[in-house]
Structure 1
Amino acid sequence: MLIPHPVLGLRDAREFTYLGDARLIDRPDSSAPDAEPAFYEYLYLRDNPAGAHRELWFHEHGDRSWLVVTRNTVTHEILSAEFARDIAFARKRSGL
């Protein structure tokens, strides 16, 4: 499987480490009143979709960047890849 790195172009998936659902970027607020159930859901409850799914990948054997890769879990087709930091910063700026 080839992952289209935003800067380096197509890279072999063996250069990366898969880390799971991209929702891990949205860590709950530990000081919120509902922190305990929010962290339970964050840590243990995961979707297992068939179709397009956003995933975190770490470019371990490359530039060590974190990517959010949108991949079809049925066909393994890679639909897009973006830097995770860009997504996280965009969410902070928009207040999400």
Structure 2
Amino acid sequence: MRLTCPLCGERDRREFYYQGAALERPEADDPAAWDSYVHLRENPAGRVRDWWFHEAGCGAWLIVERDTVTHEIYGVELAE
């Protein structure tokens, strides 16, 4: 699998470190939502958004939209 870093260009996946699903943080005053955010994860087959760190490159945090079945990459963007 190859990822295209917005700063470095196309690179092999081994330059990047997977950090998990790119989830939206819940509101600060919702304990039940925080419990789910911290402890519960789905393992979907198909299209997902993940955090990746360009460890062997520029050190940027990226959001990668990809398919977990086909390994197709739909997009890579710098994390805000």
Q: Same fold (TM over 0.5)?
A: yes
Instruction: Give the Cα–Cα distance (whole angstroms) in 2 for the partners of residues 80 and 69 of structure 1.
Output: 6
Q: Report the RMSD for the aligned CA atoms in angstroms.
A: 1.2
Aligned-pair CA distance for 1:28: 2.9
Number of positions where the alignment pairs a residue of Structure 1 with one of Structure 2: 80
Give the Cα separation in 2 of the matches to 1:42 and 1:60. Answer: 25
Look up the equivalent residue of 2:54 and give its one-letter code.
Answer: H
- What is the TM-score when the length of structure 2 is the normalising length? 0.89
Offset at residue 82 of structure 1 (A) = 0.4
Return the TM-score normalized by structure 1: 0.76
Aligned partners of 2:8 and 2:57 also within 8 Å: no
Overall identity of the aligned pairs, in %: 50
- Structure 2: tracts of 5 or more residues without a match: none
Q: In 1, Cα distance between the equivalents of 2:59 and 2:7?
A: 12
Quick one: which of 48, 53, 66 aligns to 1:53?
A: 48
- After the TM superposition, which segments of 4 or more aligned residues of structure 1 sit over 2 Å from their partners? 26-30
- The structure with the largest helix share of the pair is 1
> Mind listing any 5+ residue stretches in structure 1 that lack a counterpart?
86-96
**Greater Rg over alpha carbons, structure:** 1
Contact map agreement 2:5 2:76 (CA 8 A) in 1? yes
Summarize deviations over 1:11-36 as a string: whole Å, max 9, x none. Answer: 1111111011011xx33343x1x2x2
